[in-house]
Amino acid sequence: MGRRQQPETVGVLDRINNLPDSILSHILSFLPNKEAVRTSILSTRWKYLFASSISILDFEHCLKNLYEEDVNNFMNFVDTLLFNPRERVHLESFWVNDYFVDDEDDYVPLYGWISTALSRGLKNIGINFINEKVPVLPTLLFTSHSLVTLTLFLHIKDDMKIPTNACLPNLKNLCLTNLAFEDGYSILKLISNCHVLEDLTIYDCCFHSISELNIHNLLLRRLILCFEHVCVRDYDYVMAIDAPSLVYFEYTGIVGKGYTLSNMKSLVKAEISISHFHEVHSERSATQLLQGICNVQSLHLAIEAFNETFFRTRLDPKLVFHNLVELEFHSYYCYRK
């Protein structure tokens, strides 16, 4: 009798096992995280192999449809991933939330994961915390030399504190949502210290203890400012923007105390949506805002006025858009008793 033929699958597995770890990790990187982790049961060699294949960790995806009793397993998984005894994992992107957190003690491992990922050259991080009693964020978050993207969405009631030595030299994208800064100048200093920043978004943030919201950045190309849900009493300052490389500018919300927009010669597109709150300075400030973007080529302008027209007098004759080739205008009237 001839020798019994081995099943073809055995030969395939042997060929796979003969591949070096670097090739196997590269293959696993094409799998979803959950599928890659399942390979850890194949053998001792495969136990930690999945860790080096994961470059993106997204809590939103991982915690989706996760039962409460599985939360501990998830936390153990993150511990295994970041504190792997065989290989130091270097995440590229880390998207974090606190949906599984019950009390402040649960933030201890969470902050440990963030600090560990940052210390290993993390490039992109997004933090979405819904708990109103969030402890102070790790200092390394504001002094990292590797971060390229930072997104913060916090629901905390207390003011956020920025370290005095805050500096993110390689940050290109910054998004701040629903934050309140006890010392408004600290976050403005951070923005100025992001020397290669290209994209800045600020949604419904409160800047306390300032008389001027000064955004100065030489390389900034996109700027989105939304103050739609900010209390009028929290918006008692002049806005000054100096961004000579700005290409896109979006502003939504109430009219501020005043505007100084300089060096807007590179501006291509602007989307402005402003509201009138019967303030004496509203008409003057709105004119200043439009004067600052008069070099724009494409303008989307929406004005919401209450009980009366926004501009009660003729517009300043200096308000001329020489380069404008596209204009979309909307006017809304809201009548209040």
Q: What is the DSSP string of 83-104?
A: T-SS-----SEEEEE-TT--SG
Q: Which helix (H) or strand (E) holds 74?
A: helix 71-82
pTM: 0.81
- Which segments of the chain have a pLDDT < 70? 1-54, 61-69, 85-88, 134-135, 156-158, 184, 230-236, 276-281, 305-318, 333-337
Output the CA torsion 103→104→109→115 (10° steps): 140
What strands lie across the sheet with 124-129, from one edge to the other? Answer: 56-58, 93-97, 124-129, 149-154, 173-177, 199-203, 222-227, 248-254, 269-275, 298-306, 326-334
Residues 108, 110, 116, 118, CA torsion sign: negative
Q: Note the pLDDT of residue 1.
A: 47
102: left (phi over 0), alpha (psi -120 to 50) or beta: alpha
Helices 71-82 and 107-119 cross at an angle (nearest 10°) of: 30
Q: What pLDDT sits at residue 196?
A: 96
**Under 8 Å between Cβ of 190 and 160:** no
- How far is residue 40's CA from residue 77's CA, in Å, rounded to a whole number? 11
DSSP bridge pairs for 320 = none
pLDDT at 304: 79
The torsion angles phi and psi of 329, rounded to 5 degrees, stand at: -125, 135
Residue 299: the pLDDT is 95
- Decide if 289 contacts 318 (C-beta within 8 A): no
Give the pLDDT confidence score for residue 145 in this predicted structure: 95
Other Cβ atoms closer than 10 A to 73: 10
Give the three-state DSSP class for 142. helix
DSSP track, 27-46 = HHTTS-HHHHHHGGGS-TTT
pLDDT for res 73: 77
- Identity of the amino acid at 30: F
pLDDT at 270: 96
Contact (CB, 8 A) for 189 and 213? no
By CB atoms closer than 10 A (0-12, 13-18, 19+), residue 2 is exposed
Q: How high is the pLDDT of residue 39?
A: 58
pLDDT of residue 85: 64
